[in-house]
Each structure stands twice: as C-alpha cells, then as structure tokens.
Amino acid sequence: MASTLRHPSKLTIQFFEKNGLSHGDFQPVPGNVSKDVAVSSLSWNVESTILLVFAHDDSKDFVQLWTCGNYKWKLKKVWSFEKQEVVDAVWDPENPLR
C-alpha cells in the first residue's frame, strides 16, 4: 500500500505492509517542498513494477514514473506540463508499459 505523507519540510511517498508498519519511502520532489505541491494520484502498472505519481503545484502538472531495485527507488521518467492542464494519468490495462 502506498500513500503520501507531508512533513514540515518535505513531501514523501510512504509504503506500508499489510500489518500497517512503514516499509520505505521516497521524495517525489527533492529538497524543501512548498505547501502548493500536491499528489493527485498514485497508481501501479499491471505488473506492479512501476509506480506512477501524478502531482501538481500552482504553475504546472507533472507525471513521474518510479521503479524500485534493491530497496532503492529510482525516478525513470518525468513529464512536465506548464501550459496544459492534465486531468488524469492512467495505465493501459493490458500493456504493462503503456
């Protein structure tokens, strides 16, 4: 299970086990985060190997793709939309990488 957690100076994506214990996290926006950044949705691809983070702030929307290897989260791709409003980002239900 994954959720967002806002600390006083940072925003993290937090992972939890079935028993509710915390099991890792990462920062989708490094450094100090303004209060304006908000994560709209988190979604796994069909194979649960890539996590999509859809977020926005006052000036732009952005979509990030994250993967995990050896318990380290790595940002693989970012799309930033400054002039366009993104309504949603979703995975293809049949093709795991689309």
Task: Give per-residue pLDDT as tens, 19-31.
Answer: 988 888 888 876 6
The two tokens of residue 76 are 């693989």
* pLDDT confidence tier of residue 8, bands split at 50, 70 and 90: confident
Measured between alpha carbons, how far is 95 from 93 in angstroms, rounded to an integer? 6
The more confidently predicted of residues 84 and 26 is: 26
Percent of the chain with pLDDT over 70: 94
The answer for residues whose C-beta is within 8 angstroms of residue 38's C-beta and 6 or more apart is 55, 56, 57
Going from N- to C-terminal start, the domains of the chain cover 2-81
Measured between alpha carbons, how far is 51 from 39 in angstroms, rounded to an integer? 13
* pTM (predicted TM-score): 0.84
